[in-house]
Amino acid sequence: MRVVLSGGGTGGHIYPAVAVARQMEAEEENPAFLYIGGTRGLESKLVPQENLPFKSIDITGFRRKLSMDNVKTVMRFLKGVKESKAMLREFKPDVVVGTGGYVCGPVVYAASRLGIPTLIHEQNAIPGLTNKFLSRYADTVAVSFEGTESSFSGAKRVIYTGNPRATTVAAANARRGYATLGIPENSTVVLVIGGSRGAKAINEAMIDMAPLVMKSEGVHYIYVTGEGYYEETRKTLRAKLGSLPNHLHVLPYIHNMPEVLACTTLIVNRAGASFLAEITALGIPSVLIPSPNVTNNHQEANARQLEKEGASVVILEKDLTGSVLHEAVAGIVGSEERRRSMSEASKRLGKRDSAAVVTAELRRLAAKGRK
């Protein structure tokens, strides 16, 4: 099968597309891929590292206020559609997959105009602007959260697949995670992370919470600051604590996140959709601090889905302090019964075969397109 993938801007859009490619490689003999991303997006760095053929178009998103920049965006969109059509005619895909971000707009729209079967995947509980637009043209809309199908009432076909990224972490090796962190196997691990780039509010709360962490010797805190915050945070912590205790591990970034997640007891994080797919695939309890700086406040909607089922505690950023965070963490870590209950709830929400469900739909679309 020949597949074009498109998704960009953040890892939350890119990794699900990569997961689909990996699943297809496991299921099909000699599949062929082309990833069409943005020239300025994170995908231009991440996708080549995944050894997927990559081409780019120049595209930006619309501003929500009237602006001359929107005129330029329309011009870039039209140019992107023309360039995408040329790439699609050359590659001749059986199906085109869009996983979100502005770049999907011209790529999936171009495919629909050429009569190529298309699938778009929505990771969040509240759909993004691009996917809402594309849902009128795509053959299939796939959603990550069960019950959110009604958000695409005008689409031809809407199916619940879960997030393909979940499949990537479902088979992760916990022993490798412990080895990466340099701590004994079966340790209690609290992973605190503010997304791939870090989060200032979470960092500030963690610094405020650090003296209380000093007293939690039976728990290993893995505190991932984000590379941009790392040096300043370590300096501040050393000034505050004198020296870092052995059970407080401060890191700038984790490269093998699936393995570390597999050995995590509790996670403190933002509420990006791909990360939630990962933690529910593994049944990890969570304390979620949704970013308030996202379109339509979709991270809070994501987090509330987990909270409603008993898998998470949600703290809004405006209410976040070191003591509030410590109380939430201690209340979970200190109760084996509560941890077990939250873990079971998290697993119920997880869909470990998500990538396989998506690839099955791609085969269906491709077969229909050949008739």
Question: Are 335 and 365 found together in one domain?
Answer: no
pLDDT band at 239, cuts 50/70/90? very high
Looking up tokens 């909607």 gives 301
Residues 103 and 7: beta-carbon distance below 8 Å: yes
Residues 135 and 256 in one domain: no
Q: What is the mean pLDDT of residues 187-201?
A: 88
Q: Are 253 and 110 in the same domain?
A: no
Q: Work out the mean pLDDT of the chain and round it to a whole number.
A: 92
CB-CB contact of 103 with 8 (8 Å): yes
Q: What is the pLDDT of residue 69?
A: 64
Give 259 or 350, the one with higher predicted confidence. Answer: 259
- Tell me: do 217 and 134 sit in the same domain: no
Q: Is the pLDDT of residue 363 over 80?
A: yes
Q: Nearest Cα to 3, choosing from 365, 352, 368?
A: 365
Same domain, residue pair 81 and 50: yes
Tell the residue number behind the tokens 């509980």, with chain if given. Answer: 125
Whether 52 and 129 map to the same domain: the answer is yes
What pLDDT score was predicted for residue 76? 84
**Which pLDDT tens digit goes with each residue over 118-172?**
999 999 988 988 999 999 999 999 999 988 999 999 899 999 999 999 998 888 9
pLDDT at 343: 97
Q: Which strands form 54-57's sheet, in the order they lie side by side?
A: 54-57, 32-38, 2-6, 95-98, 118-122, 140-143, 158-160
Max mean pLDDT range (72-81, 89-98, 255-264) = 89-98
Q: Quote the CA–CA distance of 254 and 263 in Å, as a whole number.
A: 13
CA count, 13 A, side-chain hemisphere, 76: 19
- Judge if 365 and 316 occupy the same domain: no
Residues 182-203, mean pLDDT to the nearest whole number: 90
- The answer on 82 and 200 residing in a single domain is no
Number of compact structural domains in the chain: 2
Same domain, yes or no: 173 and 158: no
**Ligand-binding site membership of 254 (annotated):** yes
What is the CB neighbour count within 10 angstroms for residue 89? Answer: 12
Range of the domain at 238: 169-349
pLDDT of 64 over the 80 cut: no
State yes or no: 14 annotated in a binding site.
no
Encoded tokens for 203: 């960092």
Average pLDDT on 68-78 reads: 74
**59 Cβ contact list (under 8 Å, min separation 6):** 38, 73, 76, 77, 80, 102, 103, 105, 106
- Mean pLDDT throughout 81-99? 97
Whether 73 has a binding-site annotation, put simply, is no
Residue 218: predicted pLDDT:
87
- Model pTM score: 0.83
**10 labeled part of a ligand binding site:** yes
Determine whether the annotation assigns residue 196 to a binding site.
Answer: yes
124 with 56, same domain?
yes
Distance CA 271, CA 342 (A): 16
The verdict on 180 and 227 lying in the same domain is: yes
What pLDDT is attached to residue 250? 94
Q: What are phi and psi of 203, to 5 degrees?
A: -60, -45
Q: Is residue 9 marked as binding? A: no
pLDDT tens for each residue of 244-300 = 899 999 999 998 899 999 999 999 999 988 899 999 999 999 999 999 988 889 999
* 325 in the same domain as 176: yes
Main-chain dihedrals φ then ψ at residue 111, nearest 5 degrees: -60, -45
Q: Distance (Å, rounded) from C-alpha 133 to C-alpha 127?
A: 10
Q: Which helix (H) or strand (E) holds 287?
A: strand 286-288
Please check the confidence at residue 40 and state whether its pLDDT lies above 90: no
Which of the four pLDDT bands, split at 50, 70 and 90, describes residue 65? low
Q: Which residues contact 216 (CB under 8 A, 6 or more apart)?
A: 247, 330, 333
Annotated binding residue 299: yes
CATH number of domain containing 249 = 3.40.50.2000
